[in-house]
């Protein structure tokens, strides 16, 4: 069966849409388009699937090229979609896998033009541009194109959209969703008496702790075919493709989720904010990649975590899940992930252009090649090059922090995150970068800019011990650049701190420094920023993204 399906796919994957497809269609036949990040039949209406519609997939070259993504991300998108197409075919659906030089909607446009009797259903795309393209298409083929709501999320975006403004914070949203879903609730009270156990979740990593390995999934023939395709088409795209070990089917992704619940969830909470050199994953789930393309549904992952907490008998006694871990994990998915999505729905398209601090510096070259003496930055970028992944605290407190402190245009950082990460789809990546981590929206999503000096990184990681710079030095060539850059930032952007009681203390602390100390901070910061090789993009493929 697999072989038939593969032959079937091979025959259609490179079939130019302009050539006749010779589909045998009856008047009123309905096709269902499934997009690259909607790869789960559970999310589609049962009545629609019962009619066994022709399921259409599109491989869009333009989508891959507008921002040439990390090689592993391209492999992941294409291979997962092909595996899913085969799974649909095996379940008895007729399947059409189209290839187009244009966008997804361009392929469908040609198909609808060629087959005037064909009607199409599509699910609301999660990304803005794909959504706009399909809206135009629906307008053009008025009456033949039907849109259904996107059911890959838990929160009702329409209900929460109007609340997204300054002052509305995650905590309020999260508590409402806890009540709505009943997750970790005892009646109308939070389990354990508290909504939030963050205080227990900021531990640094003990030296001897064992970090369970995540099994590598060897590429099968389909993935290998796609790896070769990406290597040939986009040899200069960002990232390494020497190894690819992500799951490409729902079954594989579910196995990884189960393993996370058994072996890493227990320590997820305590070490959520820790960083260890050479350990990209620590106790994180690495499930965003599968949640974001539909292989896994957010509800089922939350419920698996709650089940692991409630049914501890099935767990190894060394891996008992404490409440702070399961609550922390649920807050990431039910809270942050859903909140971020509602923010995107509420703030697009203006969210794309925000630059609250008016920063104009280009993205430093080290984001492209990890070529830096700063151990924390080198480790974070190396992880991204090798896996298209780094965990949250490296994204926030290392990569974004450095970008903020060096006055980098946040829109450039935004594009880098979008292309560089395997889990980056615009709806989730953009709010995290332009809302949360760079304060580019002026404080709608976050209450303060995420910036810190070297002490924070030293406390949470082992990087500083391996660094050429000295985290204890405050200014000068040997000092950790995060130190003086941080105080320089506090001084430059004192107004953005003033509204926030806790961090406005930092402005007071800066003001108490002596004039020579302040001058030394300024001199070190200006010299360091000028030394960054920010004007040249390393890879020609990305030069146009500089502005
Ligand atoms: P875990 O630490 O195991 O967390 C569990 C799950 O919670 C994740 O899989 C994810 O689905 C969800 N989650 C946690 N935090 C967030 C958040 N802030 N926003 C949305 N979901 C969250 N996440 C993406 O999925 N795609 C992105 O492109 C992305 N870009 C980011 C950029 C920046 C600058 C920052 C600060 C965060 C970004 N995040 C993004 C959020 C978060 O860092 C990742 O979801 C997480 O690191 C993914 O790894 P994991 O699956 O091991 O997560």
DSSP string, 419-459: HH-TT--HHHHHIIIIIIIT-TTSSSS-SS-----HHHHHH
Place of tokens 């023939």: 221
Pocket test for ligand 1, best of 198, 267, 302, 332 (most atoms within 8 A of CB): 332
Nearest CA, atom 47, ligand 1:
392
Helix axes 338-347, 170-181, angle to 10 degrees: 120
Q: How far is the CA of 255 from the centre of ligand 1 (A)?
A: 20
Other CB atoms within 10 A of residue 418 CB: 20
- DSSP per-residue string spanning 30-72: EEEE--TT---GGGS-HHHHHT-PEEEEEEEHHHHHHTT--HH
- Rounded Cα gap, residues 82 and 248, in angstroms: 9
Ligand 1 proximity of 395 Cβ (cutoff 6 Å):
yes
Q: Which region holds residue 127: left if phi is over 0, alpha if psi is between -120 and 50, else beta?
A: beta
**Helix axis angle, 250-263 to 298-310, nearest 10°:** 30
Of 35, 34, 39, 32, the closest CA to residue 291 belongs to: 39
User: Can you say whether residue 294 is alpha, beta or left, with left for phi > 0 and alpha for psi between -120 and 50 degrees?
Assistant: left
Counting ligand 1 atoms within 8 A of each CB, the residue from 246, 390, 428 with the most, and so the one to mutate, is: 428
Ligand 1 atom showing the smallest separation from residue 425 Cα: 28
Helix 298-310 with 323-330: angle, nearest 10 deg = 170
CA of 336 to the centre of ligand 1 (A): 8
CA of 537 to the centre of ligand 1 (A): 26
Q: Residues for the chain: how many in total?
A: 547
Q: For residue 521, what are the contacts with CB-CB under 8 A and spacing of at least 6?
A: 474, 475, 484, 487, 488, 491, 513
Q: Residue 156 Cα, ligand 1 centroid: separation in angstroms?
A: 20
Interatomic CA distance for residues 296 and 174, integer angstroms: 21
| Res 319: pLDDT | 74
Token pair, residue 315, equals: 């767990």
Q: Specify whether the CB–CB gap between 477 and 295 falls below 8 A.
A: no
Give Cβ neighbours of residue 295 (< 8 Å, ≥ 6 apart). 39, 40, 80, 84, 247, 249, 250, 253
Residue 147 in tokens? 């849109």
- CB of 429 sitting under 6 A from ligand 1: yes
Among 76, 169, 271, 288, the mutation site with the greatest number of ligand 1 atoms within 8 A of its Cβ is 288
Residue with the smallest CA separation from ligand 1 atom 5 is: 332
For residues 35, 40, 42, 46, the Cα torsion angle rounded to the nearest 10 degrees is: 40
- Residue whose CA is at the smallest distance from ligand 1 atom 36: 396
Q: What is the pLDDT of residue 14?
A: 44
**Cα 182 to ligand 1 centroid, rounded to whole Å:** 23
Is the CB of residue 346 below 6 angstroms from any atom belonging to ligand 1? no
Q: Ligand 1 pocket: which of 392, 399, 412, 425 to mutate (most atoms <8 Å of CB)?
A: 392
Measured CA to CA, the distance from residue 239 to residue 242 in angstroms comes to 9
Atom of ligand 1 nearest to the CA of 396: 36
CA distance 98 to 17: 7
State whether the beta carbon of 424 lies less than 6 angstroms from ligand 1.
yes
CA distances from 208 to 211, 452, 454 (A): 9, 27, 24
Distance 288 CA to ligand 1 centre (A): 6
**Dihedral sign, Cα of residue 406, residue 410, residue 287, residue 199:** positive
Each residue's pLDDT tens digit, 101-114: 899 999 999 999 98
Cα distance between the two ends of the chain: 49
CA 185, CA 176: separation in Å to the nearest integer?
Answer: 11
Single pTM value for the model: 0.94
Strand order from edge to edge, sheet including 54-60: 95-100, 54-60, 30-33, 119-123, 145-148
**Contact of 283 with 393, CB cutoff 8 Å:** no
Asked if residue 423 has its Cβ within 6 Å of ligand 1, the reply is yes
**DSSP secondary structure code for residue 546 in this structure:** G
H/E element, 95: strand 95-100
Residue 335 alpha carbon to ligand 1 centre in Å: 11
Ligand 1 neighbourhood includes 296 CB (under 6 angstroms): no
In short, whether 308's Cβ falls inside 6 Å of ligand 1 is no
The overall longest dimension of the chain from CA atoms, in Å, is 82
291 lines ligand 1 (CB under 6 A): yes
Spans of the chain, pLDDT less than 70: 1-28, 314-316, 498-503, 534-547
Nearest alpha carbon, ligand 1 atom 11: 288
Q: Atom 29, ligand 1: which residue's CA is nearest?
A: 429
- Number of the ligand 1 atom closest to the C-alpha atom of 413: 34
C-alpha 288/C-alpha 423 separation (Å) is 6
- For the chain, count helices (H), then strands (E): 26, 7
Residue having the nearest C-alpha atom to atom 42 of ligand 1: 392
Ligand 1 atom closest to residue 450's alpha carbon, by position in its atom list? 36
Measured by CA distance, the residue closest to atom 15 of ligand 1 is: 332
Are 253 and 247 spatial neighbours (Cβ–Cβ below 8 Å)?
yes
CA proximity to 343, closest of 167, 162, 496:
162
In the reported structure, the alpha carbon of residue 116 is separated from the centroid of ligand 1 by a whole-number distance in angstroms of 43
Preceding omega of 349 cis (within 30 degrees of 0): yes
**How far, in Å, are 65, 67, 236, 531 from residue 542 at the CA level?**
10, 8, 9, 21
């Amino acid at each position: 069966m697999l072989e038939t399906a593969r032959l079937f796919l091979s025959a259609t994957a490179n079939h130019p849409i302009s050539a006749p497809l010779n589909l045998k269609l009856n008047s009123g036949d309905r096709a269902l388009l499934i997009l690259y990040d909607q790869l789960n039949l559970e999310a589609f209406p049962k009545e629609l699937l019962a009619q066994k519609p022709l399921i259409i997939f599109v491989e869009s070259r333009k989508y891959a090229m507008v921002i040439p993504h990390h090689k592993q991300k391209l492999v992941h998108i294409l291979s997962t979609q092909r595996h899913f197409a085969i799974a649909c075919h095996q379940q008895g659906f007729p399947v059409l896998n189209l290839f187009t030089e244009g966008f997804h909607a361009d392929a469908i446009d040609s198909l609808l033009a060629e087959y005037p009797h064909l009607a199409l259903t599509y699910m609301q795309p999660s990304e803005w541009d794909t959504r706009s393209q399909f809206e135009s298409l629906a307008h053009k083929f008025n009456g033949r194109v039907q849109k259904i709501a996107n059911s890959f999320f838990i929160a009702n975006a329409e209900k929460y959209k109007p609340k997204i403004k300054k002052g509305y914070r995650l905590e309020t949203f999260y508590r409402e969703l806890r009540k709505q879903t009943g997750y970790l609730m005892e009646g109308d009270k939070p389990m354990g008496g508290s909504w939030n156990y963050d205080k227990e979740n900021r531990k640094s990593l003990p030296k001897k702790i064992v970090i369970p390995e995540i099994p590598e999934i060897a590429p099968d023939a389909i993935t290998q075919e796609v790896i070769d395709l990406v290597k040939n088409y986009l040899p200069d795209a960002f990232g390494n493709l020497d190894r690819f070990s992500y799951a490409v089917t729902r079954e594989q992704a579910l196995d990884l989720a189960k393993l996370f619940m058994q072996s890493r969830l227990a320590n997820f909470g305590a070490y959520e904010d820790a960083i260890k050199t050479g350990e990209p994953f620590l106790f994180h789930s690495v499930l965003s990649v599968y949640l974001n393309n539909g292989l896994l549904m957010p509800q089922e992952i939350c419920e698996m975590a709650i089940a692991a907490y409630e049914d501890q008998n099935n767990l190894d006694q060394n891996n008992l899940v404490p409440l702070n871990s399961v609550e922390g994990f649920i807050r990431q998915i039910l809270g942050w992930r859903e909140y971020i999505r509602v923010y995107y729905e509420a703030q697009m398209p203006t969210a794309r252009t925000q630059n609250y601090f008016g920063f104009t510096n280009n993205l430093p070259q080290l984001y492209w090649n990890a070529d830096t003496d700063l151990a924390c930055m080198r480790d974070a970028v190396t992880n991204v090059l090798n896996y298209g992944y780094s965990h949250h605290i490296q994204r926030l407190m290392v990569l974004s922090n450095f970008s903020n402190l060096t006055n980098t245009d946040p829109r450039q950082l935004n594009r880098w995150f979008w292309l560089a990460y395997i889990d980056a789809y615009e709806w989730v990546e953009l709010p995290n970068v332009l809302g949360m981590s760079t304060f580019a929206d002026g404080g709608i999503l976050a209450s303060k800019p995420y910036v810190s000096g070297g002490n924070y990184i030293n406390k949470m990681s082992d990087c500083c011990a391996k660094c050429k710079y000295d985290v204890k030095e405050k200014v000068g060539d040997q000092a950790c650049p995060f130190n003086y850059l941080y105080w320089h930032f506090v001084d430059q952007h004192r107004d953005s701190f003033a509204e926030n009681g806790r961090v406005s203390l930092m402005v007071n602390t800066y003001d108490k420094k002596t004039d020579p100390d302040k001058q030394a901070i300024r001199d070190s910061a200006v010299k360091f920023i000028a030394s960054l090789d920010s004007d040249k993009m390393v890879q020609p493929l990305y030069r146009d993204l500089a502005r």
